[in-house]
Amino acid sequence: MAVDLGVNVAKQYSECLRRYQLPEFNSEWGAVCRGIEKESLRVSPAGHISQSPHPSALGSALTNPYITTDFSESLLEFITPVYCDIDECLQVLENIHRFTLQNLEHEEMLWVASMPCPLETDIEIPIAQYGSSNIGKMKTLYRHGLSHRYGSLMQAISGLHYNFSMPESFWEPYQSICKHSGSLQDFQTEKYLSLIRNFHRYSWLLIYLFGASPAACKCFVQGREHELEEFDEYSLYLPYASCLRMGNLGYKSKAQKSLFVCYNELDTYVDCLRQAMNTSYPEYEKIGKKSGGEYLQINTNLLQLENEFYSTIRPKRNATMNERPLDALTRKGIEYIEVRALDLNPYLPLGIDAGQIRFLDTFLIHCLLAESPECHEQEFFEVASNLALVVEQGRDPNLMLSRDGSTRSLQSWADELLQDLAHSATLLDQVHGADAYQSSLKNQAAKLADPDLTPSGMILKAMTEGQLSFFEFSMQQSNRHKEYFLNNGLDAETLKMMQQTSTTSMARQKEIEVADEINFDEFLERWNRV
């Protein structure tokens, strides 16, 4: 800790420590670890979803650690390694973008919006392929199951996942501060669950501040019930919407709607998901597991796999190739958390920037260090209701949310939260020797004073003033970002590394395929024994 603090700064720092009942906040603890996963659709120069296979120059979607696919063969997913340095993390993400754009065929580009390009039927969306190995076939089958259960249109939505963890040096001293007598692994798991509970309570704030999907192409809702309004001949929207991606048009499941997933203890969380993975669901039984000798889905249960549970945040543990995520969690506890509630910001080439990352770190550290009582079922559904309201009405200045059974305006609650977040921002600024975290907080506070400054507000304003449809706006931004990436090439060393990674990934996929010792029927039967 620096010792030459001014009196006022020193007093402020001391107050922040008291807020979290800490004797100190060691500089090593500020080395937050993060990784980013970003999804983007491949589209043609005319803005149509790509029908071509995953480009061979990008390597194997099964084994390339940087570039893979999500639901669709056309839905790319970029993955950074874990970094403590924000700029380094963003630079790697930018390098992945540049390499990808340089290797796309047919002059394709990346769609910058979370809501997809014009799509009218599921058949337009090619399902991702992962080769002939058992694990590769299962990954593809899982996606076929999603298509049968929810339709492919929902699965074409893009987002950004933010993986967060505290440095190893933090945990042992913090365990001592908390006077926790159990194992370090158990303590770490308990505290990450505390973070998750608080995240659920306050995540509506992230939806308001960073939601960037207030509109969609009209064709996206053909044949579906909705309450969207007509923006123009081609677009639908809601006047105060922030993040339609997280609403009924996006990652919502009727089957999962009543599922109460408890984050008070790891065992109860795991048991809840295991039960869902072992409980047959009537609607999925109607689909069937096979038709004409071809598999339609992995099983007919409420969840085919644990990843089918749609959540704004997940507890995570790195698993081996053939290891279930829940098995990894049970074996070693929570290693990091994955935030899944973030839209792509179409004004940013990477969909995210350093300022947003600093705010996320500030928010997540507060969720970790602040009091986090256990969540009961009533609060669970209250939190879900708040999220749904902010998704569709977030920029309404009169919006009221529920808090402990009473109502509270979004504005007053958000102001209170930002004041509380100032404590974790101050701690991070103290260890990094600048005011970047508090500055990021101030920038977000400005969005509360003026909802037009939010990404969702900016998008609707640009569409209105420019008389642009959602498609036209998204095309403009997609072309701008394509030009940005192509006008700045990779250095020779980075290019060589990315090329070698692609080549190695193709060889690794072949090794996995050759190593299979059982047929797919037997593999799937074993996998379904949860």
Residue 355 and residue 347: Cα distance in Å, rounded?
A: 14
Q: Which is nearest to 270 in space by CA: 329, 355, 185, 349?
A: 329
For residue 489, what is the DSSP state?
A: P
Better pLDDT: 8 or 328: 328
User: Mean pLDDT lowest for which of 116-120, 335-339, 420-424?
Assistant: 116-120
Quote the domain boundaries for residue 208: 7-527
- Give the whole-angstrom CA distance, residue 271 versus residue 277: 10
- Residue 254 pLDDT > 80: no
204 Cα distance to chain centroid: 14
3-state DSSP percent of the chain in helix, strand and coil, to 5: 50, 10, 35
Nearest one of 28, 298, 287 to 171, comparing CA atoms:
28
How far is residue 301's CA from residue 287's CA, in Å, rounded to a whole number? 11
Q: Which parts of 487-528 fold into alpha helices (H)?
A: 492-515, 520-527
Question: Whole-angstrom Cα distance, residue 395 to residue 418?
Answer: 17
Two tokens at 260?
A: 């109460």
In the structure encoding, which two tokens stand for residue 383, read together? 């939190």
Query: Which CATH number fits the domain that encloses residue 469?
Result: 3.30.590.20
Question: Is 2 inside any structural domain?
Answer: no
User: In 398-454, which residue ranges form alpha helices assigned H by DSSP?
Assistant: 410-432, 436-449
Q: What is the pLDDT of residues 75-118, one digit of tens each?
A: 999 999 999 999 999 999 999 999 999 999 999 999 999 999 99
Q: How confident is residue 530, by pLDDT bands cut at 50, 70 and 90?
A: low
Q: Is residue 78 one of the residues assigned to a domain?
A: yes
Number of domains in the chain: 1
Higher-scoring residue by pLDDT: 528, 187: 187
For the residues 162-190, what does the mean pLDDT come to?
97
Give the integer Cα–Cα distance in Å for 218 and 441. Answer: 36
Contact status, residue 83 vs residue 92, Cβ threshold 8 Å: yes
Q: Determine, yes or no, domain membership for 1.
A: no
The CA distance from 410 to 426, in Å, is 24
- The pLDDT of residue 320 is 80
With a cut of 90, say whether residue 120 has pLDDT above it.
no
Strands (E), 406-470: 406-409
Q: How many angstroms separate the Cα of 366 from the Cα of each of 135, 280, 413, 425, 430?
A: 39, 39, 16, 9, 15
Per the domain annotation, does 22 fall within a domain?
Answer: yes
